[in-house]
Amino acid sequence: MQLINGKQISQEIQQEIALEVKRMMDLGLKQPHLAAVLVGNDGGSETYVASKIKACERVGFKSSLIRHPKTVSEKELLQTVYDLNHNDDIDGFIVQLPLPDHINEQKIIEALLPNKDIDGFHPINIGRMILNLPCFVSATPFGIIQLLERYKIETTGKNCVVIGRSHIVGLPMSILLSKNNSSGNCTVTLCHSKTKNLKFHTSHADIIICALGIPEFLTADMVKEGVVIIDVGTTRVKSNETTSGYKLKGDVKFDEVASKCSYITPVPGGVGPMTIAALIHNTLLAAKKEIYP
C-alpha cells in the first residue's frame, strides 16, 4: 500500500507555478491577481480562504479579499460580482460557498463571467468540460486527476466507481475519468443514494472515488485487493484525541481499508491540499488568457 501525498504534490504544483510567475515578472508581464469574496464568518470558509491567500503569497500572485456580513442582500452580492467581472486587474475570483439561505447560490455562480470563474462552477465551463473544450475544471476533480497522473496510476481500461453525484465533485469526476485521454479511458459507474447493491459495484472497482460526506462509509468488505481509493470526504467529528475536540474523518474507514489498497489518499493530507493548487493553477491560466483568449 502506498499513501498518495496530496500535500507534497500540491507543493510541487505551487513551486512550478511560482517559477512561471517569476518568468512572467521578468518579462514585464502582468502579475496574476486572485480575489475571494467571503460572506459571513463561517469557520471552515475562513480557514479555506486564508489558505488561498497564503498560497497566492507563496507563488507570487496578488490577492484581494472582499468581505460581506451574512446579512448582505443578494442584490449587493451581485453588484460585487459585477464589479469584479469588470475589474481588469483581477484575473479570476471565487465567491466562497456556502452562502446564507436567503441568497440563491446558482444565481451568483451564473453571474460570474466564465473567463473569471476559476472555481469552474459556471454552466459554460461545465459544458465546455463535457465537450472536451478548454475550460476551468473545478478544483477538486482537477486535483484528483493530478494525483492520478503524478503517481502514474493507470486508468485506461480500468473499472472506476464514483460514489456521490454532486455538481462539484461526483458528476465532473465521472466525466473526466471517462474521457478519451491519458488520465481517462475508464469504464465509469456513478453511484449514489439510490444505487442498489452498492457493494457489488465497489467490490469490482479498480479505482474508487468516494465523495459522499459520510464518515467511514466505505469499509474493507466493500473493496477488492489492489484497489486505488481517492477519499474526498472531510467531515469534522468529535474526538477525545485532539486538543480541539474534533478530528477530520474521510468517507473511507482508513484503518481497515488501507491494507487492501495499492494506493490510497489519507484524510487529512490527501485531496484537500490539491484544491488550493488547482485554484492557483486556474488563476494562472486566466492571467495568461489560455482558456478564453
Q: Which residue in this structure is represented by grid cell 513551486?
A: 15
Which residue segments constitute the domains of the chain, with CATH numbers given?
Answer: 28-113 (3.40.50.10860), 139-272 (3.40.50.720)
**245, 238 in Cβ contact below 8 A?**
yes
What pLDDT is attached to residue 243?
75
Catalytic (active site) residue 89? no
Q: Which residues contact 40 (CB under 8 A, 6 or more apart)?
A: 68, 69, 70, 100
Residue 15 has pLDDT above 80, yes or no: yes
Q: What is the mean pLDDT of the chain?
A: 95
DSSP secondary structure letters along 253-275: -HHHHGGGEEEE--TTTSSHHHH
Which one is catalytic: 119, 206, 231, 251?
119
Residue 43 has pLDDT above 90, yes or no: no
Residues of the chain with pLDDT > 90, as a percent, come to: 89
Which one is catalytic: 96, 116, 251, 253?
96
* Beta-sheet strand order (sheet of 2-3): 2-3, 261-264, 227-231, 207-210, 159-163, 187-191
Task: Give which of 257, 11, 243, 278 is closest to 136, Cα–Cα.
Answer: 278
Residue 147 has pLDDT above 90, yes or no: yes
φ/ψ region of 229 (left if φ > 0, alpha if ψ in -120 to 50, else beta) reads beta
Catalytic (active site) residue 119? yes
Lowest mean pLDDT: which of 13-17, 79-83, 140-144, 242-246? Answer: 242-246
Task: Give which of 289, 278, 3 is closest to 144, Cα–Cα.
Answer: 278
pLDDT tens column, 47-69: 888 999 999 999 999 999 999 99
Catalytic (active site) residue 52? yes
Rounded CA-CA distance 281/119 in Å is: 11
Residue 39 has pLDDT above 80, yes or no: yes
